[in-house]
Structure 1
Amino acid sequence: MSTASITIQLNGEPRLCPSGLSLQQLLEHLGYRPQLVVVEFNGAILPRQCWPEQLVREADGLEVVTIVGGGS
């Protein structure tokens, strides 16, 4: 893993993060619990099984939605 940084768009805001991370690694780095989120990656919902292989690159766009349980 490189020590260089890239800038991505996370929920519409620029965010600096380490380069060379998979989507799974990036979510964990950002403090998300991957089993509790849905991710739109560059405009498309990305299936969870693709996250470990999907590299995140400069200017990629992510929308991360946290799944909340409960309700009545």
Structure 2
Amino acid sequence: MQKKNKHFFLNGKKYYTNKNKNLKDIINYFNYNSSLLIIEHNYIIRNKKDWSKIIIKNNDKIEIITIVGGG
């Protein structure tokens, strides 16, 4: 049986996967620095401790906000 591709949106761009991925997998795959991020998943800000528990489903919307310091 062939696995069905599912798609998700990351910062407005559509991506496909046929594997079970969680938010932490997505951060690692796209090489984000996890210490400087806020993640909005389906319009809810997600706690960092829950990133590995949240499995990406078809049509999920993920926004990654990078914190930038300055002065």
TM-score by length of 2: 0.81
Within 5 Å, which residues of 2 pair with 1:1-72? 5-17=5-17, 19-71=19-71
Structure 1 gap ranges (5+):
none
Over residues 4-49 of structure 1, what are the superposed CA-to-partner deviations in whole Å (9 max), with x where a residue is unaligned? Answer: 6431111112123452111111111111111111010001101111
Contact 1:37–1:66, Cα closer than 8 Å, also in 2:
yes
Aligned residue identity for 2:43:
G
Structure 2 gap ranges (5+):
none
TM-score by length of 1: 0.81
| Identity, % of aligned positions | 26
| Count of matched residue positions in the alignment of Structure 1 and Structure 2 | 69
Q: Distance in 2 between matches of 1:6 and 1:36?
A: 28
* Runs of 4+ residues deviating >2 angstroms: 3-6, 16-19
Aligned residue identity for 1:63:
E
Please state which structure has a larger fraction of its residues in helix: 2
Aligned residue identity for 1:47:
N
Q: Distance in 1 between matches of 2:4 and 2:67?
A: 31
